[in-house]
Amino acid sequence: MTTAGRPRLTTKKRQGETAREEILDAAAELFTTRGYTNTSTRMIAEAVGMRQASLYHHFANKDELLDSLLSGTVDEPLAVAQALRDSDARPEVKMYALALFDADQLGRSRWNLGALYLLPELRDDRFETFRGHRYALMDLYREIASSMLADKRLTAMPGAEDLPFRLVETVVNRRADIEAGHSAPHGDHARVIAESAVRVLGWSGELESVHARAVELVDEHARDGRILAR
């Protein structure tokens, strides 16, 4: 059983249900291994098993490819962050849960797309969609961090509200160095990050029960988030 349209010359080379997904998968691999500007549309097409011009049936241009990929990495954590903010959990549990979910996701995704977050090219208006979503996520991290710091028993330096988000994004750097063979992987890195995220805000209480409660919350909201995203 085939589908409409002229058949490809090559047999399928990529995972993905639709042509769009095959293309995104190939582009993600090439962008993360060779760089964005350094990857030509011809290389992407070749990795998919189609002709260069055929890509343009699915994407208006190369930028749209990158914008789709990057937006895809932020949408799920963003949904989870909103759900967590609106939940009635304790602030340190929310913070821990968000960091845990996000760090885990950044560490396990098929390609390390986070390594492209700092590309100067992204400043361009064409990537407005992605930037907007990432900044929304950043603001939610800040909001949850601030709600923790409202508890005056926590003594964090002014400026510390920024750190949890930054700490989570270090998963990307670490992963890049692991892939380059210069850091060792470690079973539960997301947990290290989540613990640090609350510690840098001055939390000095125990972490066992925070962890347990956060895992419950994440399971719950990640499910909702995933339903939203599909």
Partner DNA sequence: ATTATCTATAGATCTATAGATAATGC
User: Residue 71 to residues 9, 89, 129, 130: CA-CA distances in angstroms?
Assistant: 31, 28, 7, 5
* CB of residue 226 to a copy of itself, shortest distance in Å: 27
The SS3 call for residue 93 is helix
Smallest separation, CB 18 to a copy of itself (Å): 26
- Taking the alpha carbons of 184, 78, 126, 110 in that order, is the dihedral positive or negative? positive
Residue appearing with tokens 């691999």: 29
Stretch that binds a copy of itself, among 57-65, 143-151, 199-207, 209-217 (CB under 8 A): 199-207
**Count of positions on this chain that bind a copy of itself (CB under 8 A):** 47
The answer to whether residue 118 forms part of the interface with a copy of itself (CB under 8 A) is yes
SS3 21: helix
For the record, the structure tokens of 136 come out as 């929304």
Q: Are 187 and 104 in contact (CB under 8 A)?
A: no
CB of 198 to a copy of itself, least distance (A): 11
Q: Which residues bind DNA (CB under 7 A)?
A: 2-10, 19, 39-43, 45, 50-54, 56-58, 60-63
Query: Residues interacting with a copy of itself, by CB under 8 A?
Result: 31-38, 115-121, 123, 131, 135, 138, 157-160, 162-163, 166-167, 169-170, 172-174, 176-177, 180, 182-183, 186, 188-189, 191-192, 195-196, 199-200, 204
